């Protein structure tokens, strides 16, 4: 999605520059390569970052490139010829900003953040692995897993608190007793495909009723008391 909105922004800029160039008096019109160079210089700016829709967005506020072009071209008496292209480069920053905001908006509609279907889009290649010795093993029914997903609802839980509690148990135990420390998420589910733009790790709760979905930026906890895709203590073999 980001590729297409960026392509659209560059296409709009190209059409604008072509139109601007064609309207320029042929006797004063600069060489194409020099015009493009000034446009690229005009793009340089001092920007501030601000959060929008869960993303960091850059807003150009100081036209540094335009200032540099002015200082150089004014001394050569060429500023009047090139100023429209320098400013076009600077204002192109707002065109790209609009494209970024459009990308975020469209993505939020197709890939809503926090919805479990966004992160667990295709589970038919799912495999279950035991990642902690406190687990007794288990079997995952892939077909039932696909049916159960819609029954999971997001809940708030203190994941960091869980981790801290587990670490306290581990360090308080003798080395030969550490296998008895209970891990809340002793299973890892791999082979899951998320919707575009997301890379996820999915951890399964010991009772098979809760899942911790970890993305590059966030963690989400989902639980379903009716989930039946996991059978504890049964080998996958």
- Could you give the CA distance from residue 18 to residue 22 in angstroms, rounded to a whole number? 6
Upper half-sphere CA count for residue 35 (Cβ side, 13 Å): 18
Which tens digits make up the pLDDT trace of 167-216?
565 555 555 554 556 778 899 999 998 876 677 899 999 889 999 998 88
Q: What angle do CA 149, 152, 157 make, to 5 degrees?
A: 140
86, burial (CB in 10 Å: exposed 0-12, middle 13-18, buried 19+): buried
Among residues 106, 115, 123, 146, the alpha carbon closest in space to that of 193 is found at: 123
> Would you state the pLDDT for residue 176?
54
Would you kindly state where each structural domain of the chain is located, as residue ranges? 2-110, 116-232
């Amino acid at each position: 999605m980001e590729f297409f909105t960026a392509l659209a922004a560059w296409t709009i800029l190209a059409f604008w520059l072509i139109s601007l160039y064609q309207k320029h008096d042929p006797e004063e019109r600069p060489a194409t390569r020099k015009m493009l160079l000034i446009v690229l210089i005009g793009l340089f700016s001092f920007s501030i970052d601000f959060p929008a829709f869960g993303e960091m967005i850059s807003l150009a506020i100081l036209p540094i490139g335009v200032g540099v072009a002015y200082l150089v071209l004014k001394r050569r008496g060429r500023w009047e010829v090139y100023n429209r292209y320098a400013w076009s480069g600077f204002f192109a920053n707002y065109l790209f900003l609009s494209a970024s905001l459009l990308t975020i908006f469209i993505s939020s509609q197709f890939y809503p953040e926090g919805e479990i279907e966004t992160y667990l889009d295709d589970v038919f290649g799912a495999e279950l692995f035991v990642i902690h010795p406190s687990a007794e093993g288990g079997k995952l029914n892939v077909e039932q897993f696909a049916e159960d997903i819609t029954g999971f609802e997001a809940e708030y839980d203190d994941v960091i608190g869980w981790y801290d509690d587990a670490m306290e148990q581990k360090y308080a135990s003798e080395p030969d007793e550490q296998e008895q420390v209970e891990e809340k998420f002793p299973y890892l589910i791999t082979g899951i495909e998320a919707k575009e733009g997301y890379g996820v790790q999915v951890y399964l709760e010991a009772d098979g009723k809760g899942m911790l979905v970890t993305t590059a930026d966030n963690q989400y906890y989902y639980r379903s008391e009716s989930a039946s895709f996991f059978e504890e203590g049964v080998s996958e073999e």
